[in-house]
Amino acid sequence: VIKCKAAVMWEANKPFSIEEVEVAPPKAHEVRIKIVATGICRSDDHVITGGMVMPFPIILGHEAAGVVESVGQGVTSIKPGDKVIPLFVPQCGECSSCLSTKGNLCSKNHIGSAAGFMPDGTCRFTCKGKAIHHFLGTSTFTEYTVVHEFAVAKIDSAAPLEKVCLIGCGFSTGYGAAVQTAKVEPGSTCVIFGLGGVGLSVVMGCKAAGASRIIAVDINSDKFAKAKELGATDCVNPTDFKKPIHEVLIEMTGDGVDYSFEVIGRTETMAAALACCQYNYGVSVIVGVPPAAQKITFDPMLLFTGRTWKGSVFGGWKSKDSVPKLVADYMKKKFVLDPLITHTLPFTKINEGFDLLRTGK
């Protein structure tokens, strides 16, 4: 058993509590990882606010990189000392999605289920005598974590962990939504709703795919300079207009956009993103995690005329196969990650990090 620091969330809408936790050794087909760097993602915050329902107490965090400390019985693909990225979308290699060339959402995932356990139904964390739940099979807000072998990818030993941790969620999710899920073509027109780290990664994906017009939409105009630096051609703040944003975008483009991306997780913007794409061949992709217990009501004529509405989890990448390749591409300078990193804080200041997230900084 390893004793270390972790940020424990004891109950909803309260700050993280830095606690000493006990981390059990890995069981068969499990891997214990020393976390070196972890990103803060809005999905973690959704658990705190109740937008994503999970059991408490819990150790959140799902975007990270680290070094393998030890492995359980039967683990052959990974050894102590390997640099790795935990995978919140696992890849078991056996379920229908893993076996299909079209899918990437392995059936062993915990998205949309409030499980909070390892695959065998138990926890590896204890604090003050209480079992602490896992989050999305990763739990990275701790100095050490335990993940299943199908939920970890071995990466280039030369990769800078404080940068490539973003490939564990934000970058891959956004970039893949454009290049993999939507399959944006050269010369096309795209709009991105929401310019956080994931939204900016969609901008990068649209640019890499050769889109000729990339419209960035956010109610925080402070985000526009960075969006332009990464490839946005136009920036629009919906609060500057009296009319609905989808009407503004249709006027700007003449006929609606080829591809729209909702990267916030709000039902209103999901509906607007669908309405602003071209009525016959437009494609709208939901990238932001939808809030729990909310429904969308929309006119089915929007789809009848030919639009495609689709979702994208982890950018459509098969995680275990793709994460090492994405890290290799980063090492070859095929894309940048530095602009996505606004602040670097010590682990004990995690609550300040979440304050920065919530204030749009």
Q: What is the pLDDT of residues 209-223, one digit of tens each?
A: 999 999 999 999 999
**C-alpha 12: how far from its chain's center?**
21
Q: What predicted TM-score, i.e. pTM, was given to this entire model?
A: 0.96
Pick among 3.10.180.10, 3.90.180.10, 3.40.50.2300, 3.80.30.20: CATH of 2-170+316-359: 3.90.180.10
Catalytic residues: 41, 43, 46, 62, 169
What pLDDT, on a 0 to 100 scale, did the predictor assign at position 154?
A: 98
One fold for 2-170+316-359 and 183-311: no
Of 285, 290, 282, 289, give the one whose Cα is nearest residue 311.
285
Are 286 and 264 in contact, with CB atoms under 8 Å apart?
no
- The per-residue pLDDT for 292 is 81
- Measured CA to CA in angstroms, residue 11 lies from 8, 16, 49, 120, 234 at distances of 9, 9, 10, 24, 41
Q: Where are the alpha helices (DSSP H) in the chain?
A: 42-49, 96-99, 161-164, 170-176, 197-208, 224-229, 245-253, 267-275, 301-304, 319-331, 350-358
Domain ranges in the chain are: 2-170+316-359, 183-311
Say how many residues make up the chain. 361
pLDDT score, position 111: 81
**Integer Rg of the chain from CA:** 20
> Strands 234-236 and 213-217, how do they pair?
parallel
Which positions of the chain have pLDDT values less than 50? Answer: none
CATH code for 183-311?
3.40.50.720
Neighbours of 336 (CB within 10 A): 13
Return the pLDDT at 212.
98
